[in-house]
Chains A and B, each alone.
Chain A
């Protein structure tokens, strides 16, 4: 009897040990997280918002058990690194070293966000090619990104971008100008840009377009980054009776331009990209001196467009997760797209059923989903297609500041919520 008891006990212990061993062997991948790297310029407001949106998306996906990879749900783990590439004096190679350190230390399955500065993004593409990590950029707009992929597909095929680019920005500006010409008969424009490559390039392309499309360009000024007095331009724009003052700048001091135009009672309508006055809290910051200003926004989300319910839903959840202040200071570029980028990746992983980079690239190329910025599809150069219809493409928008601090989407027509209001002095 004693022998039976001992044998029985030994059998029981054996069963328990074997059970644990089998269990441990069969489920290791269930607890292995999917590692996502997020290298970017964390000192920039746009990127800060984008990083928050990315974390929110990860939390949402993890709350549902994670991403399904080959029949097993695996949670997401995000690793951020600050490339500091938005700060003055930071060399490109420092930003690249930070990215490479992240890749080597964390061994990410994919990379999201990405650098802010064009030159850093373009240089990072070689790192991505070297380590073959699928990458969806959402913070930089340089068109050369696509050209590199188009020219050397096999090398750069791991790189994708779901935020807009400068070509689409110009397309929206042109659409906006055509709309205003048709609506109000405007044909006199004054161009003001920041003396940096993207803004000057945009200004020059638009200047050519204006001249070819029946507009009179009555002035073209560029200001050094950091300029704090824009009275020369505003004096001239007033004297030349410009109906539209088209502005392209992302420097913090550019807010002075809008406020100074308001103070100087310049009659023209300010239209364009003025990053400091684009956020939801800008009305309060500038004491209401923004009435009438029209901002062309790189993506919907800040502000949301009611015609794209997912954008409204995204902004509401962002506010609940990070608070009203974070919601109201949401960046002009790279917040809704950062959020979408993780869902794009998750969708591709589930369709591919693996984390193998080449299979993921093939799955990403076949992406066709609805995101916070509209319909998301990549073209042959791995750029998400932007257009004027949210059922067909991803969306930028233009909004106008109206009393008492509302950002109202006014363009494109398919998502416009109210008509553009022109200043009384121009009616």
Chain B
């Protein structure tokens, strides 16, 4: 049983990391908490499904188009909605949350409530690891989560845009004085975060079906992982995902599965009371010390 816990704890952690990374990236760079994140996740699922089933796109093309469209939607969201309320945190949250609810409830109104909406697995089949059967799709989730982390590291350390992202994240005014465009960087961060929501949806949704309510749950997961790890920290997201992922599987296996949902909330309360900026968060660290 312990081997199963280790393997499926890792899968669960990878799912959490993949789900939360885009949300964390956007917040870390632009300071915008994109509460439409869960809606973009579900939108991606339905878009791929529609491209595959209505327009008969090849799977790879459907994926590329969807990531592009949802990333573009993130970019447009910044310029059309967030620019006007930029800096007013509560307004940013209300604006993005309203957008998210609007998108999700639009799908409900359009009748996307039945159970036939799902995405195909990349490769069918399974492999036995240390005596534990695991399907290929779950291995893809682990692999793509790792690949995204590595991509983000190189992107933010070795590309002009990535360095601009970090500059804005570290000190926006100084970055502006060096010629970095704050709003363009913010819009790009929202686009990249939305595209990552899209990647997460395309990889994770084949495990089950596309359900509108999942959009709200994805947002809760992203916020929980972000708060525990530190909203702007990629290593923090990884560590938080491992903690929460294993805590969930251990709770479900050795205690009761109905308490698995409590793990998120308990972790949020615990971290906020001990280290409000999160395990790896830097933004409010100085304020906390003072």
Contact = CB atoms under 8 A, between A and B. Distances in A.
B285 interface: no
Interface string B206-217: 011101011011
Interface string B76-101: 00000000000000000000000000
Nearest to A253: B208
Given A263-B133, A276-B115, A287-B124, A253 B1 contact: no
A380 interface: no
A277 to B, nearest CB: 8
A147 interface: no
A235 interface: yes
B135 A253 contact: no
Interface string A255-296: 110011001110000000001110101101111000000000
B58 interface: no
Given A226-B214, A276-B115, A235 B8 contact: yes
A285 B135 contact: no
A345 B257 CA distance: 45
A260 B208 CA distance: 9
A265 B125 CA distance: 11
A232 B113 contact: no
B118 A285 contact: yes
A282 B208 CA distance: 11
B72 interface: no
Given A45-B115, A226-B217, A329-B115, A232 B208 contact: no
A213 interface: no
A115 B162 CA distance: 53
Interface stretch (B20-28, B147-155, B246-254, B267-275): B246-254
A236 B11 contact: no
Interface in B1-31: 1, 4-5, 8, 11-12, 15
Interface stretch (A20-28, A91-99, A216-224, A314-322): A216-224
Interface in A194-247: 195, 221-224, 226-233, 235-236, 238-239
B208 A224 contact: no
B258 A195 contact: yes
B208 to A, nearest CB: 4
Interface in A23-54: 43-45, 48
Contacts of B1: 235-236, 239
Nearest to B118: A285
A228 B260 CA distance: 11
Nearest to B8: A231
A265 B133 contact: yes
Contacts of B213: 88, 226, 252
B219 to A, nearest CB: 12
Most buried by A among B11, B108, B135, B252: B252
Contacts of A231: 4, 8, 11-12, 249, 252
A233 B207 contact: no
A95 to B, nearest CB: 16
A227 B260 contact: yes
A368 to B, nearest CB: 35
Nearest to A84: B108
Most buried by B among A43, A222, A235: A235
B121 interface: yes
Nearest to A225: B213
Interface string B185-219: 00000000000000000000001110101101100
B126 interface: yes
Contacts of B8: 229, 231-232, 235
B40 to A, nearest CB: 18
A356 interface: no
B114 A329 contact: yes
Given A45-B113, A229-B248, A253-B209, A224 B261 contact: yes
Nearest to A277: B115
19 contacts: A88-B216, A221-B257, A222-B258, A228-B207, A229-B15, A229-B252, A231-B4, A231-B11, A232-B257, A236-B253, A239-B1, A239-B4, A253-B209, A255-B209, A259-B208, A264-B135, A276-B115, A277-B115, A329-B114
